[in-house]
Amino acid sequence: MDIPNFNGWVQFKDYKCITGVGLRGVYILAHFSHKPSSPPKLTSANIIYVGETTGQTIAKRLYQFSQSAFFAKRGHSGGLTYSNQFLKGVPNVAPPENLYVAILPVDRPEKEGKAFIKLIERAVIWEFFKKNGDYPACNTA
């Protein structure tokens, strides 16, 4: 199965400006010392989280991630894992400069879209696992 292309990397702090963030879909988070100029490589060891949302927009889900990651609030398990692993659970008023996001917005009928989104998220995690021998740092399964 060919995984569709994600949009280019954007600093997490600018996620609201990404085209398609108002749709459901799949998103990936990664750490980079500077913005990558190439499209997202789904097996990159820099990827720290792969997520999906089928019942709300990507923007809403990334907001929930930010609340959990940067303020240690409940609502996003990957965000809480990020908070503990990378920020030692200490609130951080701004996203780290090295945190980037890329999204794959999905505009399909509800049932079809939900199935497709879940398939793509699992496929990305599987490709990452095959290359790296483990899940991304903030994914548990």
> Which pLDDT does position 89 carry in this prediction?
84
- Structurally, the chain folds into a number of domains equal to 1
Question: Model-level pTM?
Answer: 0.96
For the chain, the average pLDDT equals 97
State the pLDDT confidence band at 5, using cuts at 50, 70 and 90: very high
Q: Which amino acid is at 31?
A: H
Answer whether residue 93 is part of any domain: yes
Q: Looking at the domain assignment, is residue 51 inside a domain?
A: yes
Is 75 part of any domain? yes
Q: Which domain holds residue 22?
A: 10-132
Q: Is residue 3 a part of any domain in this protein? A: no
Residue 7 CB partners (closer than 8 Å, separation 6+):
18, 19, 20, 102, 103, 104, 105
